Amino acid sequence: MGPSGFVYFVDKAGHAVGHPEHPPDAEIADFSNKPYVKSAMQGEIGAEVLFDPVDGKEEIVAYRPISDYEWGVVVEQPADIAFLVRDRGLNRIILVSSFIFLLLFLAAYLILRIIAAINNYRQKEKIFLDSIGDGVAAIDREWNITLFNKAAARISGWPQEEVMGKPFRNFIKFLRERDRTENIVFIEEAILFGKPRQMEDKTVLITKNGREIPASDSAAPVFDQNGKVSGAIIIFRDATQERESQMLRSDFAYAAHQLRTPITSALYSLELALGEKELPVIKESMKIAHQGVRNVGRLVEQVLEVSKIDQRRVVPEFAPVKVLEICDEILKLAEEIAKRQNVVLTASPISGALGITTDRKILCKALLQILENAIYYSRPGGEVKLNVRFQENNVLFEIEDSGIGIPEIQQALVFVKFFRGSNVPPKVIGAGLGLYLAREYVNLLKGNIWFKSEENKGTVFSILIPSQ
């Protein structure tokens, strides 16, 4: 009951006896009209919560009769004290329940976020694969198909749902034209040696409806987390148009050829990342795939620019512009490439007052083509310098590198479309369009471009643009 409660008796007349607020020498307290006293006098046992108007609080009143004496006993206690233990217990239960609910909510939220991230990654991966124009199929060590993109389905005529998980050779049949024998050596060697292999020339693909189409491309191995070959990726495309036109060196045919390496590299890295559990390996694979896609984008942009120039759809719009703004723009764009190639990029001081009337966009493209070439063909740790100076009402831009240089015997071909020097490292991806584009851009601006180069020592390209 505690110190806040008390007990008292009522006689058979309903008078309070032993009430702490009504001592014996005080006036007799008549409680006969109180409901709980009446209930006790009638032999009832119970408890009630009543409001005490004096204290303005609720009280618990318990009562029972004392039959032998026809009296009753009453216990009173403030409700907040009486229910304290119960309330504390309820509060604990509510607190613990709330905490558990919060943990469950957070766990469910995190699980949903992880599921959403995984689904998003898979969706992006599917979009990426389905966006590739070449047919892409992946197989495991048992030659069962584990991946088949939309282009593969379109070229072969076999829907994705019909081939997934089934033997590759039951659906995709490559035959040599010369002897009509099956041509899968390039796939077998990719799995056996763990290196990409090209499809043999003059190979045809037998489609679902029995039609033969010229096919070409390559296969690359897929590695598991232990570095062992777990299958292969086969890339193939319909070469009908190439065969019919006999334009193997046409702009787009050549560009498509150059796109194979970065696409194969990107797909190989993506497959490695998909089968990998170690985060550092996944990040490295995704980094390589990202670079491959960037190379593809760069080549595609160059081919599109060549197409626009050849169709005379590039028209310069001359306007005043600060030379410093142009240099800042191209240096900022080339800075990331320089970092990746471990090349130092520097520029001579340029006056903010130096102005020129030209097409800013075209000039930036011309300078950037030269600057990017200088970076890509420089050795790691090398330096590429941009120097600008005013010369007889013209602005002279000089881009100097200390890279591989251009062989003297090939220097006359530098500005020819699709030309690439014989000393270009294999790791440098390109289509031989950068210098051709730079020259065409400079011509549009009524300028001049020339160079000096020495093999294994470096090259200096000079671009002279009229100031007005």
pLDDT digits 0-9 by tens, 118-131: 777 767 766 777 77
Question: What CATH number does the domain located at 319-466 have?
Answer: 3.30.565.10
Mean pLDDT of the region 457-465: 95
| HSE-up (13 A, CA, CB side) for residue 272 | 27
Task: Assign 78 a pLDDT band (cuts: 50, 70, 90).
Answer: confident
What are the C-alpha distances in Å from 438 to residues 25, 385, 434, 463? 118, 18, 6, 9
Lowest model confidence (mean pLDDT) among 157-161, 163-167, 264-268, 443-447: 264-268
How confident is the model at residue 388, as a pLDDT?
Answer: 94
pLDDT at 10: 82
pLDDT at 175 over 50: yes
Whether the Cβ atoms of residue 321 and residue 355 lie closer than 8 Å to each other: yes
Q: Could you say which of 3.40.50.300, 3.20.20.140, 3.30.450.20, 2.120.10.80 is the CATH number of the domain covering 6-82?
A: 3.30.450.20
Q: Return all residues near 276 (Cβ < 8 A) that are at least 6 apart.
A: 225, 282, 285
pLDDT at residue 442 is higher than 90: yes
Phi (first) and psi of residue 67, to 5 degrees:
-60, -35
Q: pLDDT at position 22, please?
A: 74
- Of 3.40.50.261, 3.30.450.20, 3.40.50.1220, 3.30.428.10, the CATH number of 132-310 is 3.30.450.20
Tell whether the model's pLDDT for residue 268 goes beyond 90.
Answer: no
pLDDT at 314 over 90: no
Overall pTM surpassing 0.85 (yes/no):
no
In terms of Cα–Cα distance, which of 444, 425, 423 is closest to 365?
A: 444
Residue 177: is its pLDDT beyond 90? no
Average predicted confidence (pLDDT) for the chain: 83
Tell me where in the chain the CATH 3.30.450.20 domain(s) lie: 6-82, 132-310
More confident residue, 85 or 376: 376
